[in-house]
Amino acid sequence: MTSPHSVPGPSRATEIARLELARLAPSEPLDAVFRRACELCADALTVERVGVWLFIDNGGALRCANLFERSKKEHSAGTMLRVADFPAYFTSISIRKAVPAEVAGTEPWTAELAARYLRPLGIGSILDAGIFVDGELVGVLCHEHVGLPREWTTEARDFVGSMADLLALRIQSAEVRELRAAFLTQDERSVAHEKAAALEQLAAGVAHDFRNLLTVFLGYGGLLARRDDLPHDARKQAKDIVTAAEQGTALAKGLLEFAHPQTAPPAVLDLGAVAAEFMPVLKAAIGSKYKIQYTQPDELGQVFIEKGQFTRLLLNLAVNASEAMPAGGLVAIRLAPVKLTGNPSYLGRFVLLEVTDTGSGIDAETQRRMFDPYFTTKSKGTGLGLAIVRRIVDRVGGLIRVESSESKGTTFRVFFPRVGASTGGTALFPILPPQPGAEPA
């Protein structure tokens, strides 16, 4: 194993960085403070990746408020780390002021991040400092060194601790409006979070009891269907009961999966490679009446998401598009790197997934409710397909928009926050406001 090497900490550079951050005007917006802090830390310590991460959802997750990649001069935001996925890491940062990991892949508190986050991004060492406000941990200032393991000097540790303290002071003095944007604590998001939790709890209870009842129908229906002494019509009716009960059991299973999804922790992925690999499955799922037109550039950047969650989202959107064209048609799927403009909570670089159909379009009332669990306009629909899409998007810190015109078709756009920069071109993309009731933003 390569032993950690020490990178001398330039005293003059760290002192200049501290002074510059401290002297930023009180009127400077909080997102601009985070942006400048990341740049100053990266330059002072010669670190490739520096990010400010803030706790959201009642402390259940860290959301990247700003990530700066020094060699590419790029900023991004939005990636999520959930406490339940990486418990050892979150325990360590809650009890220590500055947490160094000189060989990040083997340190006990970062080992669970090694295969899913550190190695795919080439990160050899980490130096994190907690951001504490009134004794409460509200975020983390994270330094990610790309390359060979690195020894963090005492000066470097003191420096990142002091920069985290300066950020804590800015958070304390920020206006309520800025804090809501930074910590995503808008009333709409809080209400949606509570509503989703209540629906999931209700779904679990109903599905459990419903499945137990259906077991009786399946058992006795199957016995009746196999009895030769019953009239043919009676046996057929019994088979119909079994078929209906099997469909109900599948629905109950879907409800339980919605209420308690069993997913692995996320990992750094190239969505282009995953989508290309999944394309044969997608074509088989929507059927031969439909043609898939799939496009992507050579470089997208990387996204932090569990592979099965992304393919399920893609499948749900493609099936939804095909169902909008009963006679068949074209399903266009596109991936592209974009930089969003127009919404302070989502400024940064994302990977865009577009799924477009040429169906009859979606009316305004349906657009308002289509992400609600159990809402469906289909005779055999469960109302869970788009609700699952929405939940996956929320879990990764992304957002979703829908553009539809009656008789012209519909485009679903999902924006995944990038955790690794693209070496290709990134197009500016003005983000539209959400449909009323469709998404907190």
What pLDDT, on the 0 to 100 scale, is given for residue 20? 95
Please check whether residue 437 lies inside any domain of the structure: no
Query: Does 392 map to a domain?
Result: yes
- CATH code for position 314: 3.30.565.10
Is the same domain home to 37 and 155? yes
CA angle 348–59–141, rounded 5-degree value: 50
Place of tokens 């985070």: 34
In the chain, the number of structural domains is 3
In this structure, the answer to whether residues 75 and 195 fall within a common structural domain is no
**End of a domain among 259, 286, 318?**
259
Give the pLDDT means over successive 10-residue stretches in the chain (441 positions): 50 91 91 95 96 90 93 90 90 76 83 91 93 92 94 92 94 72 52 54 57 75 86 86 74 62 84 94 90 91 92 92 92 92 73 94 84 71 78 89 87 92 69 53 43
Same domain, 282 and 369: yes
CB–CB of 418/398 below 8 Å? no
Judgement on whether residues 284 and 358 belong to the same structural domain of the protein: yes
Phi first, then psi, for residue 78 (nearest 5°) are 110, -20
195 and 276 share a domain? Answer: no
Residue 441 lies in a domain: no
Q: Which domain holds residue 240?
A: 188-259
Q: Is this model's pTM higher than 0.85 or not?
A: no
Assess contact for 63 and 53: CB atoms under 8 A: yes
57: tokens are 């959802």
User: Are 286 and 366 contained in the same domain?
Assistant: yes
- Is residue 142 located within the same domain as residue 254? no
Is 166 inside any structural domain? yes
Domain boundary among 232, 259, 286: 259
* Contact call for residues 346 and 396 (beta carbons, < 8 A): no
Name the one residue in this structure whose structure tokens are 């032993």: 3
Say whether both 339 and 393 belong to one domain. yes
- The answer on 305 and 251 residing in a single domain is no
Q: Is residue 139 within 8 Å of 76, Cβ to Cβ?
A: no
| The domain boundary residue, chosen from 259, 276, 291 | 259
Quick check: is 68 in a domain? yes
Q: Tell me, what's the pLDDT at 92?
A: 83
- The verdict on 253 and 273 lying in the same domain is no
Looking at the structure, tell me whether residues 23 and 143 fall in a common domain.
yes
At 320, list the tokens: 């939804």
Query: What is the helix (H) or strand (E) element at residue 399, kind and residue range?
Result: strand 399-405
Decide if 436 is inside a domain.
no
Tell me how far apart the alpha carbons of residues 385 and 378 are, in angstroms, rounded to a whole number: 12
